[in-house]
Amino acid sequence: MPRGPLMIIGGAEDKLHKRTILKDFVAASGGADARIAVIPTASSLGPEVVEVYDALFRRLGAAEVVAVRPESREDAHDPELVARLAGATGIFMTGGNQLKLSALVCGTPLADAIVDAHERGVVVAGTSAGASIQSSHMVAFGGPGSTPKQRMTQVAAGLGLLDSTVIDQHFDQRNRYGRLLMIVAQSPQLLGIGVDEDTAAIVHHVDDHDVLSVVGRGAVTVFDPSRIVTNAYEAKRSSTLLASGVLLHVLPEGSRFDLTTRTLVAQAAGVDPAEAADLAEAGQDLRDLARDIAAADASPGALRRRLARSRTRPDTRQARREQQSPQHRTDQDGAS
């Protein structure tokens, strides 16, 4: 069975209006048959955070929503709690403190159950902290800023659902360019992925490739440091880092990116319906013209004139009908 999709949400997803991202999650989880497990461990809120997502997912058509909330590593070893993921068709990890989420979940049977669910085809989604933990490496904490500086942030282990990556969220809104650049400068084997608010990077595993597509209002920013030149290994304290040669990809909605080959996936050109209709009509006219010439019905010049008359005739008839209509005559009388 193929791996399930990953939905990496940059936080602050729309919960009131179109709710596009959450609708997509419920649909990917099975729609009316969806059984969703919510993991709210990162949140500092109590049961209300589960109540919010329970109401949202049920309103969007999910059949069942269950809470899986370990409050300690001991809880994350509890077979009864772990068993709640066994029948899940979708797993959703809320926002909050990603270091708390990592410290309580990673390396436990609950984490193994999340990975196993992903491997058997379950969709795994997370917003904010729940997005960061999906990568192999995770931003633990750190400040904003567009310039990468030594010791700007700290990294912790994630669940590893997405290999050789580090994910950051609220990316543009909280100006997290510098800290993601710092991480990839220190670990150039990692692909840096920054996800804006109300935006999702959706990853499907296709033919041994992880392919990312973008949905939402913002963008997904990818830093590829494969050929970086950096002084991260010798920079002191909080000094500014050299980060030259990083390949930048800014991916708006509709973009697709192959994370395995680190290349943009070409998009099929869209066709304007009106233009397509015009082309179809022109093609039919040409076929009629060729048929009539072949039948020696008339010369090409005469046929072209006949075709021109046929194109203008409907407009002429319509104009005559409008002139003869009672409303037109009334308007004319009123104008005089």
Angle at which helices 47-59 and 20-28 pack, to 10 degrees?
80
Catalytic residue, from 137, 170, 205, 249: name it. 170
Q: What percent of the chain has pLDDT over 70?
A: 85
pLDDT band at 336 (very low <50, low <70, confident <90, very high): very low
Annotation marks residue 29 as catalytic: no
User: Do residues 284 and 311 touch, judged by C-beta distance below 8 A?
Assistant: no
Q: What is the pLDDT, as a whole number, of residue 99?
A: 97
Q: What is the pLDDT, as a whole number, of residue 1?
A: 72
DSSP per-residue codes, 56-117:
HHHHTT-SEEEE---SSTTGGG-HHHHHTTTT-SEEEE--S-HHHHHHHHTTSHHHHHHHHH
Instruction: Tokens 């072209």: give the residue.
Output: 304
pLDDT over threshold 90, residue 320? no
Q: What is the pLDDT, as a whole number, of residue 335?
A: 46
Q: What is the pLDDT, as a whole number, of residue 288?
A: 72
Higher pLDDT, 309 or 150: 150
User: Which of the residue ranges 162-171, 205-214, 279-288 would you say has the lowest mean pLDDT?
Assistant: 279-288
Give the mean pLDDT of 160-178: 98
Annotation marks residue 137 as catalytic: no
pLDDT over threshold 70, residue 303? no
Distance CA 51, CA 33 (A): 20
Annotation marks residue 48 as catalytic: no
Higher pLDDT, 324 or 18: 18
Q: What is the pTM of this model?
A: 0.81
Q: Are strands 6-9 and 199-206 parallel, antiparallel or unpaired?
A: antiparallel
Report CA-CA distances (Å) from 326 to 321, 322, 323, 330.
10, 9, 8, 6
Bridge partners of residue 153, in order along the sequence: 142
Give the mean pLDDT of 157-178: 98
Distance CA 192, CA 244 (A): 15
Distance CA 163, CA 209 (A): 11
Q: How many CB atoms within 10 Å of residue 73?
A: 14
Give every CB contact of residue 313 below 8 A, 6+ residues apart in sequence.
none
Distance CA 98, CA 92 (A): 14
Q: What percent of the chain has pLDDT over 90?
A: 78
pLDDT band at 283 (very low <50, low <70, confident <90, very high): confident
Q: What is the pLDDT, as a whole number, of residue 334?
A: 47
Catalytic residue, from 197, 205, 213, 249: name it. 197
Instruction: Tokens 């010049």: give the residue.
Output: 301
Q: What is the pLDDT, as a whole number, of residue 33?
A: 98
pLDDT band at 266 (very low <50, low <70, confident <90, very high): very high
Catalytic residue, from 128, 132, 136, 255: name it. 128
Give the mean pLDDT of 207-215: 97
Give the mean pLDDT of 291-313: 65
Q: What is the pLDDT, as a whole number, of residue 318?
A: 57
User: Do residues 137 and 187 touch, judged by C-beta distance below 8 A?
Assistant: yes
Q: What is the pLDDT, as a whole number, of residue 292?
A: 67
